[in-house]
Structures are given as C-alpha cells and as structure tokens.
C-alpha cells in the first residue's frame, strides 16, 4: 500500500471537498494528514479509514510557518510515495530536490492568478502566487475544480502532466431533528408562498444588497432567507433593509450544514451569485449550487460561465443578472425548472466521482 502525505491548509470538519479527496486517497493508500486546524478525535473517527493527523493549531508562533515546518518534518519522517498539496505551492521545488522519486499531486480549489496587491497581506500572497506560477508545472498530477479552470490552468501554468477535473459537487446527506427545525424556522416560511434561500452571507461583492433590492421589487408574495457569514456587515445590512422598508428578507447568520439542507428542502429555490471581478469568481466552482440541485431545488444564478453552462444543459434554473425577473420567471415556470433539477440528478453519478478520482490519481502516481 502506498504512503501519502496529504497537506491541507483547511479544517477537515467543514471543508467537504477536502474530505472527499481524503476519502479517495484512502481507497489505495495509507494517509498522513498535516493540517492547521485542531481536529478532535471524535471527528477523526468519522474518516472512512484510520489515518494519522498532525495539527499545528496549538503550536505557538506563526501558524503558516509552523505549517511549512511541520509538513517538511512529516515528509522527512514518512518518506511518502506521494505528497498531495492543497492550494499550497511553497514546497514543490523543495520536494523535487529533496525527494525526487516522490510523486506530487496539486489540488487547486481556488484559482487565484490575478490577485491585486492592496495591503501587506496581499503583497505576501502575491509572492506565493509567483512561486505557484513557477513551480506548478513540475507536479505529476494537477486537480482542478471545474473544466473551465482546468483549461485556464493548463495555459497559465504551462501544464504538461495529467489534469483531473474534480468538481465541488457536494450533496447534503446528514439529518436534523425535524421538530426542532420546524419550530425554529416555520415562522420564516410562513411569510409567503414562495420562499427562496441564499447561502452567501452578507457582503457587497456577494450580491447580498442587490438580491435584497430585487425582493423589495417583487413584493410580499416572495420571501428570502439569507444564511452565512456577515463579515462584519450585519448592522449595515439591517439598516439597509430598514431604510428601504424591505420586510421580506431575513438574515439568520451561520448555521449547521445539515440545517442548511433543511432550509433548502423547505424552500422553493436557492440563489447562487458570484461577482465576475476575478478569474476565480468568474469561473466559480460553486458547492452551494450542487447542494440545492441534489435536493431537487432549482437555482437562480448570476451569468458566470460554469453556472450558465449547467442551467443551459439541464434547464435547472434561471441565469441572469436581473434577479427580480429571474425569480419571477422561475416562479411562473416552476415545474419546468424542477424537472430540470431532476434531470441533473438522474444524469449525475455522485458516488462514482470519488471512485473515479481515486482511480485517476492512482493510475498517474
């Protein structure tokens, strides 16, 4: 059995894509994880196979530099057959020199190749971007989050080795206490006969204010529930709703993923929005879109190419920058778009995608 070091600068409790990659790796390898997050034992027990997890969460000092140091230490100790780096290009050149026979897999869930320097932090990140552009061509396998990003990355990084497309195609399979959730959320759904949900939180570049304005235009027959981080914008948004007399929009903050699934099940549709101001956003890889469709709920979305492609292919939602008309269109033709969501589910081999990822990595390392 191969030995793999999985370097993931994420919290595996919440990052569905990272857990799916782990599940794929565990089909053919003994996995050693290095992560910045503190993962309790009860969460480790949920991994599909036993694996060794090293966290830098409680180590004093800079978490990032600790992460680099501890990743090197683990690789030196394990001497793995494969190292999988998740959005973490710093060690590629070092790996090639120190362990030339070790295969490198690079999973890029965020394609940030046009970063603007606006602060000391973004300057530091831009230096990492330069390292990434220089070194990613050296990896043995590159994993992209959708086909559009794969095509861009191939040209940008001058990739010549194997490229895998592994979409952020997440399905919510968890359960909730139905009675508790009904008591908690029923008043929100009682406001109108057509309730839609949005999981993007509160931020101007996530379209929250524009979407709220669209709901005001549509009137009391429609209702919107917003979920997610407020990035410090909650009070500003509440004031915006009050100043503009918008009474059919509710913000309920960050909730458990399974409760988000409950809201989706109870709603008529969900909104997916990405501002097309960067390559990463324009060619978005939306997990929220798939969460909605897998529960049979159509989507209302911005015109980003991956979103438009899905809507055009399956007729599972309305793609437009005019949210008021999009929402009305979906309501007026609701059964048509529900059938489109069903068509998407029928055409998608969700469980097989992780097996295909495992096979593709294994064949190329």
Q: Residue 48 has what pLDDT?
A: 63
DSSP 192-214: -SEEEEE-S-S-GGGTHHHHHHH
pLDDT digits (tens, 9 = 90+) for 257-299: 999 999 999 999 999 999 999 999 999 999 999 999 999 999 9
- Residues 195, 258: Cα–Cα separation, whole Å: 18
- Residues 37, 179: Cα–Cα separation, whole Å: 33
Is pLDDT of 42 > 60? no
pLDDT digits (tens, 9 = 90+) for 186-228: 999 998 889 999 999 999 889 999 999 999 999 999 999 999 9
pTM: 0.91
Sign, CA dihedral 148-153-154-159, equals: negative
pLDDT digits (tens, 9 = 90+) for 303-322: 999 999 999 999 999 999 99
pLDDT digits (tens, 9 = 90+) for 89-113: 999 999 999 999 999 999 999 999 9
Domains of the chain, start order: 2-169+350-364 (3.40.50.2000), 178-347 (3.40.50.2000)
Give backbone dihedrals phi and psi of 289, rounded to 5 degrees, phi first: -60, -45
Confidence bin at 12 (pLDDT 50/70/90) = confident
- Range 320-334 average pLDDT: 97
Mean pLDDT across the chain, nearest whole number? 93
Rounded to 10 deg, the angle between the 323-332 and 208-218 helix axes is 50
Q: Residue 45 has what pLDDT?
A: 61
């Amino acid at each position: 059995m191969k030995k793999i070091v999985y370097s993931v600068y994420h919290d595996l409790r919440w990052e569905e894509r990272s857990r799916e990659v782990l599940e794929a790796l565990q089909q053919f390898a003994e996995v050693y994880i290095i992560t910045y997050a503190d993962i309790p034992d009860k969460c480790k027990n949920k991994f599909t196979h036993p694996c060794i997890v090293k966290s830098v969460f409680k180590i004093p000092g800079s978490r990032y530099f600790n992460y680099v140091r501890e990743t090197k230490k683990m690789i030196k100790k394990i001497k793995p057959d494969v190292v999988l780096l998740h959005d973490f290009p710093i060690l590629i050149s070092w790996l090639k020199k120190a362990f030339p026979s070790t295969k490198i897999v690079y999973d890029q869930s965020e394609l940030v190749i046009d970063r603007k320097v606006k602060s000391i932090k973004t300057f530091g990140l831009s230096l990492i971007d330069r390292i990434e552009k220089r070194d990613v061509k050296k990896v043995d396998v590159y994993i992209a989050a959708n086909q559009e990003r794969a095509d861009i990355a191939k040209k940008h990084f001058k990739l010549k080795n194997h490229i895998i497309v592994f979409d952020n195609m997440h399905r919510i399979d968890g359960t909730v206490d139905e009675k508790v959730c009904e008591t908690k959320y029923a008043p929100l759904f009682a406001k109108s006969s057509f309730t839609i949900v949005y999981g993007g939180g509160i931020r101007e570049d996530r379209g929250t204010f524009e979407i709220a304005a669209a709901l005001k235009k549509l009137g009391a027959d429609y209702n919107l529930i917003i979920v997610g981080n407020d990035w410090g914008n909650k009070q500003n948004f509440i004031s915006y709703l009050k100043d503009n007399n918008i009474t059919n929009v509710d913000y309920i903050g960050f909730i458990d993923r399974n409760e988000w699934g409950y809201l989706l099940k109870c709603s008529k549709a969900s909104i997916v929005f990405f501002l097309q101001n960067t390559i990463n956003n324009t060619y978005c890889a939306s997990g929220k879109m798939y969460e909605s469709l897998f529960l049979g709920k159509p989507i209302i979305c911005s015109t980003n190419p991956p979103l438009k492609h899905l809507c055009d292919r399956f007729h599972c939602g309305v793609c437009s920058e005019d949210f008021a008309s999009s929402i009305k269109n979906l309501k007026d033709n609701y059964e048509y778009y529900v059938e489109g969501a069903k068509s998407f589910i029928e055409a998608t081999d969700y469980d097989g995608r992780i097996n295909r990822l495992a096979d593709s990595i294994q064949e190329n390392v």
